[in-house]
Structure 1
Amino acid sequence: MKKQVLVAGGGIGGLAAALGASRAGWEVRLYERAAAFSEVGAGVQIGPNVVRRLQAWGLQQPLQAVAAFPSRLQVRNAVSGKELAVLPLGPTAVERYGAAYATIHRADLHGLLLSAVTRYTDTQLHLEHAIDSFADADGVVTVRTSRGKQVEGDALIGADGLWSRTRTQLLGAVPPRVTGHLAYRALVPQHALPDALRTAQVTAWLGPRLHAVQYPVRRGELQNLVVIVQGPAPQDLENWDHAANAAGLEHALQGTCTALQDVVRSVTAVGGAGWRLWPLCDRPPVRSADEMAQGLVGLLGDAAHPMRPYLAQGAGMAIEDAAELQRALAMHDLDVPLRLRRYALNRWQRNARVQARSTRNGRIFHATGPVRWGRDLSLRLLGERVLDVPWLYRGDGSSASSL
């Protein structure tokens, strides 16, 4: 008889967990609080380490159909506009790391995972039905849902995001920390832009106390724009997501170069959906395997290790988690707590390293004064050697190989 895993959360991490657990031979019940499976409009960068996981799940063709594959990463000074360094992507990434570097609309990544779960697994999907609490006793995990039902399973995976209720019960009610960084995000149809503002690459603009990133998504038909500035966060962090004030963003970019300001103004000029604004939160790096699994309960993705976006690996680490969860759950000669322990042992250090590096990158991206000058000099002199991240893109997801 198959064992049954209960998955809390229907985002990218939850769907990846369901796919991995199903491929490990488990029955899956997934519980999502929302009334429909959906993702907000924003872009995601997925490095070769993540693309390889999707390929292993047979998702190369669906990925190819919806993603863009940038030719290179360019870094520019946000004040002068000058190019600082370039990292070749495209065929170079495939040659070095065995997979491409892709950029994708978050909704498209979510959609291809949802399609794989519904088409290739027997996962039971429960909408408007969140997991609110659990009890782990006598070799069974019992959950109570938001509709008051009790459901039993052999394991519970909390993939319910930054404000995870599973995490709160497992590790205590410690809220995420506010970073003091605000992310403005927009998507623009490339055909509506002047030729000079269209892009087939990733461009990162580094400025004092801010940075911006632009890249293509959805086969290159859309351009994703993200501008992150430092500023005060609102009171209601859990629910805050609203149409941002373009004038406020333009004010924050005073002193940056004309080229960057032209890119930002294009969002309003084309009359699209405009800017949306998110406060960024994270948690300190994972400190031990116990922070990712205890007994019959495991955490995955943002529920376990929310991170700043300065290494572009938030969604990627959730997908890596799911791939490792698949390997662990398939260890049928081990008791379930040992399988989840193995999962946590093989993931926590790599996740902690990515969290720490993401925070460090943010300080470098937003540097002021002498640190900013030193950063620019290093990029000009060392270029590709500074931008490439072999330990990240080659890592197989386990602590033994990636630290």
Structure 2
Amino acid sequence: MQKQVLIAGGGIGGLAAALGSARAGWEVRLFERASAFTEIGAGVQIGPNVVRRLQAWGLQGALQAVAAFPERLRVRSALTGAELAALPLGARAIERYGAAYATIHRADLHGLLLAAVRDLPGVHLNLGLSVQEHAQEGGAVTVRLAHVDGRLVEVEGDALIGADGLRSGTRARLLGEAPTRASGHLAYRAVVRQDQLPQALRSGDVTAWLGPRLHVVQYPLRRGELLNVVAIRHGRPPADLESWDHGANAADLEAALARTCAPLQDLIRAVPQAGGGWRLWPLLDRAPVAGPHEMARGLVALLGDAAHPMRPYLAQGAGMAIEDAAELQRALAMHDLEVPLRLTRYALNRWQRNARVQERSRRNGRIFHATGPVRWGRDLALRLLGERLLDVPWLYRGDGSSASLL
């Protein structure tokens, strides 16, 4: 009899989990609390390690149609504008890692995964239902669901995957943990049409501007038609963030970057002039995963941000969720093992890599935002060693080697 997996969450992680589970031969029931499948946010960088997973799912054509494929990663000083280092991407990434480096709008990545899942038999996508409780008993897991109209529904399955994001209810019930914690960093995000920007500000590269207690990243989206701009600085969010007018952030951001170089300030000022609106997110995270028990227990496993939320300084949040889903597929396909052992295998094969990416992301944040002598040393190292420090072979290959700055 075909086994059935229940998935909480319809974001990128949830859809990737559904795709992997279906390809492992399981029936899938996914529950999304919203009444429609939508994805907010801006851009996502996906390295060759992630693109290879999408290719294995037959999604190369869909990715090619909506993503951008930058030719270079550039690192510049936010104070002087000088280029500190550069790393070739494009054909070089394909040659070295077997897949391209891509940049994509979060909604486009969500959309291509949704389209792939909808084409599969045995996948049931349920909107307007949120998981309220779950219980494991007698070799099955039962979830209680709340419908948007107030009805309560119970569903039984052979496994439950919590892919319900940063504030995961599945995680809280499974591990009994406290809420996420503030990192002390604020992220301002905007997307603009490149043809609405002055020619000098348009770009097909990934560019990171590093400054004291702040950095800015820009890269193309949607075949290069859009430009994604993310500015991250140290600071406290407004107390009324939930109801705050996010459009009022432009002046605050311009003030925070007042000491940076003219080209960077020109870019920041051009965003609202080109019709882009800044959105503010306080960055939240958890301590790195401490062991497999934090990713799976019994018939329940966690995936993506529900398992390992991380700071964006290695650009691997969505990537690690997709890697999780690929490993979940391999584990669920081990039909000679009992389900708890399959989920344990999944957790054993994922927790250390996720913890390493979490820790390296934190380290990158300290490097990006360095001040004083540490900043000077960082800039000198980038000028002298450049490409060697920017490449991340242990991440893009998925192996254990590590000699990179990032």
Shorter-chain TM band: over 0.9
CA gap of 1:231–1:276, structure 2 versus 1, over 3 A, is same
Q: Which letter does structure 2 place at the counterpart of 1:189?
A: R
User: Does the alignment pair 1:88 with 2:88?
Assistant: yes
Superposition deviation, residue 40 in structure 1: 1.1
User: Does the alignment pair 1:151 with 2:127?
Assistant: no
Residue number among 311, 316, 319 corresponding to 1:313 in the alignment: 316
User: Does the alignment pair 1:4 with 2:10?
Assistant: no
Show CA shifts across 1:267-319 (max 9, x none): 1111x241111010011000000000000000000000000000000000000
**What residue in structure 1 maps to residue 107 of structure 2?**
107
Distance 2:72 2:154 in 1: 51
Superposition deviation, residue 123 in structure 1: 1.1
Distance 1:181 1:321 in 2: 26
**What residue in structure 1 maps to residue 263 of structure 2?**
259
User: Does the alignment pair 1:283 with 2:251?
Assistant: no
Distance 2:186 2:245 in 1: 11
Distance 1:221 1:256 in 2: 27
**What residue in structure 2 maps to residue 211 of structure 1?**
215
CA gap of 1:86–1:346, structure 2 versus 1, over 3 A, is same
Q: Matches of residues 1-400 of structure 1 in structure 2 within 5 Å?
A: 1-147=1-147, 148-235=152-239, 242-270=246-274, 272-395=275-398
CA gap of 1:157–1:241, structure 2 versus 1, over 3 A, is farther
Secondary structure of the residue aligned to 1:120 is coil
Secondary structure of the residue aligned to 1:370 is helix
Q: Which letter does structure 2 place at the counterpart of 1:114?
A: L
Q: Which letter does structure 2 place at the counterpart of 1:58?
A: G
Distance 1:69 1:236 in 2: 38
Superposition deviation, residue 393 in structure 1: 0.1
How does the TM-score come out when normalised to structure 2?
0.96
5+ unaligned residues in a row in structure 1: which ranges?
none
Superposition deviation, residue 173 in structure 1: 3.5
Secondary structure of the residue aligned to 2:84 is strand
Distance 2:243 2:166 in 1: 12
Distance 1:351 1:293 in 2: 14
Secondary structure of the residue aligned to 2:184 is strand
Q: Which moved more, 1:272-281 or 1:105-114?
A: 272-281
CA contact (8 A) 2:141 2:158 kept: yes
Secondary structure of the residue aligned to 2:129 is coil
Q: Which letter does structure 2 place at the counterpart of 1:182?
A: L
Distance 1:307 1:387 in 2: 20
Superposition deviation, residue 242 in structure 1: 3.3
CA gap of 1:240–1:325, structure 2 versus 1, over 3 A, is farther
Distance 1:372 1:331 in 2: 49
Q: Which letter does structure 2 place at the counterpart of 1:161?
A: G
Superposition deviation, residue 236 in structure 1: 6.3
C-alpha RMSD over aligned residues? 1.4
Superposition deviation, residue 235 in structure 1: 4.1
How does the TM-score come out when normalised to structure 1?
0.97
Distance 2:142 2:248 in 1: 42
Secondary structure of the residue aligned to 1:149 is strand
The number of residues matched between the two structures is 398
Q: Which letter does structure 2 place at the counterpart of 1:89?
A: L
CA contact (8 A) 2:393 2:401 kept: no
Identical aligned pairs, as a percentage? Answer: 74
Distance 1:295 1:239 in 2: 39
Show CA shifts across 1:237-289 (max 9, x none): 7787833420000000010000000111111111x241111010011000000
Q: Which moved more, 1:168-177 or 1:386-395?
A: 168-177
5+ unaligned residues in a row in structure 2: which ranges?
none
CA contact (8 A) 2:204 2:220 kept: yes
CA gap of 1:402–1:381, structure 2 versus 1, over 3 A, is closer
Distance 1:231 1:349 in 2: 30
